[in-house]
Structure 1
Amino acid sequence: MYRILLVEDDQSLATLLVEHIEGYNYKCHNCSDFDNIEEEFKRFSPHLVLLDINLPKYDGFYWCRKIRQLSICPIIIISARNGEFEQVFGIQNGADDYILKPFSLDVVMAKINGYIRRTYGDYAPNRSERAIHRGHIKLYLESLILESNQHQVTLTKKEAMLGSMLLEYSPKVLSRETLLSKIWDDENFVEDNTLNVNIARLRKKFEEVKASVDIEAVRGLGYRLVIKEIE
């Protein structure tokens, strides 16, 4: 089931959108913590984001840039700001589309269905993009999609970089220093727990797609990914 993250502080509108979107067999979650939208994005790992502009503390343009640093999933802005500047600025900050309020729910669903289909479905460019294929697992490097057993999940850029290295070198051990230096520009300024946290998130993503893998911590060395045979 594809996941839609809704970032809308008008609760009556948010409730209406969630109910309507989930009626089309999507899982839709509306943000509850508008100070930490980035963290909610990481936890929910959506396939598409519906993003309002007028939000508490930071506006939608700010959060659009933040989300775009983590993922290339489609972002659709929904806003009452109808000026040409706002629409251009939204696209320049990483949005894929801009829907003006008030809007038709049918138009919103048509946009969602279209972007999901083009990004992940029949019209997705997965076949032509770079991918790592190991056993029953595929990791698409441009769209940041992990696929296994007919299940898909979207990764963050860091998760995709980490996963691609572990898959490519599987079942060899990669040292912590190698992983940190390749994925973060300067490992000297990265906290020791950062890699552990990202490994834990990646393990969860493999579980979501029912992949038969173990990411093993090798004491004093680093990590290795072992792919199990499917019985």
Structure 2
Amino acid sequence: MFKLLLIEDDKTLFHEIRERLTSWSYEVYGIDDFSKVMEEFTAVKPDLVIIDIQLPKFDGFHWCRMIRTHSNVPIIFLSSRDHPTDMVMSMQLGADDFMQKPFHFDVLIAKIQAILRRVYNYSAEQIELKTWCGATIDFDKNLVTNDTGSIELTKNEIFILKLLIERKNNIVSREALINSLWNDKHFVSDNTLTVNVNRLRKRLDELNLGHFIETKVGQGYIAIEEDSHD
């Protein structure tokens, strides 16, 4: 049974979401003291976090930053505000998905199922190490290492990198990436993919690898091998 941590201060909505998720056999935990979210997170050790942006004490962005300093657990943001920047900020902080309130519960459940299936089925596989542009990539540990150093990527970032490297020197369409990541393109803004790829590039820049992920306008993205880039 997967454990979900639902960080939502609207008690009516919290109980409604928990009831629906419990009926799908998820174990759902909440927050009693919103100044001690990290203590609850550490105690629960959830498989996925659902977090509202507007919270008492500190907002959801703050707690996302805190969680990301300790864990790559999947995170879904909820927001009642109609601000496009909320979604962009969520993805930049390492969230896996974003939902605007009010939302349909079936959509939330579909997103949760897709993320859990992608993250934990994928992580359960013992994936061999691969090399790309002089770097060693450990898909099991989400690590990219070269002579410059080592970085740990989020689940979305490593998944995008895996898809691109599997078809290196070939364009992977935006539609194929969206469908692989979120299962249903109808529920995902095209900008969500752009934000995720840009975040991946920014992380890879720490190892001087970001420029090997190229954008093909109107088509998709391509992972270039080092000798093909010259």
TM-score, normalised with respect to structure 1:
0.55
Q: Which runs of 5+ in 1 are unaligned?
A: 131-139, 145-231
Cα deviation for residue 119 of structure 1 reads 0.8
1:9-37 CA deviation, whole Å, 9 max, x = no partner?
A: 00000000001001111100111110010
**CA shift digits 1:100-154 (9 cap, x unpaired):** 0000000000010011101112x44632167xxxxxxxxx96269xxxxxxxxxx
Retained in 2: the 8 A contact 1:6–1:49?
A: yes
Q: After TM superposition, what 4+ stretches of structure 1 lie above 4 angstroms from structure 2?
A: none
SS at match of 1:128: coil
* Inter-partner Cα distance in structure 2 for 1:69 and 1:126: 25
- Structure 1 segment 1-231 matched on structure 2, within 5 A: 1-121=1-121, 123-124=122-123, 126-128=125-127, 142=141
Give the whole-Å Cα distance in 1 for the aligned partners of 2:10 and 2:70.
Answer: 25
Letter in 1 for 2:5: L
Q: What SS does the aligned partner of 2:116 have? A: helix
Give the TM-score normalised by structure 2: 0.55
CA distance in 2, matches of 1:38, 1:143: 23
SS class of match (1:71): coil
Please give the secondary structure, in 2, of the residue aligned with 1:142: coil
How many Å separate the matches in 2 of 1:100 and 1:16?
Answer: 16
Contact 2:125 2:140 in 1 (8 A): no
Q: After superposition, what is the alpha-carbon deviation per residue over 1:173-201, rounded to whole angstroms, capped at 9, x for unaligned?
A: xxxxxxxxxxxxxxxxxxxxxxxxxxxxx
Q: C-alpha distance in 1, partners of 2:73/2:87? A: 19
Identity of matched residues, %: 42
RMSD: 1.9
Structure 2 stretches lacking a partner, 5+ long: 130-138, 144-230
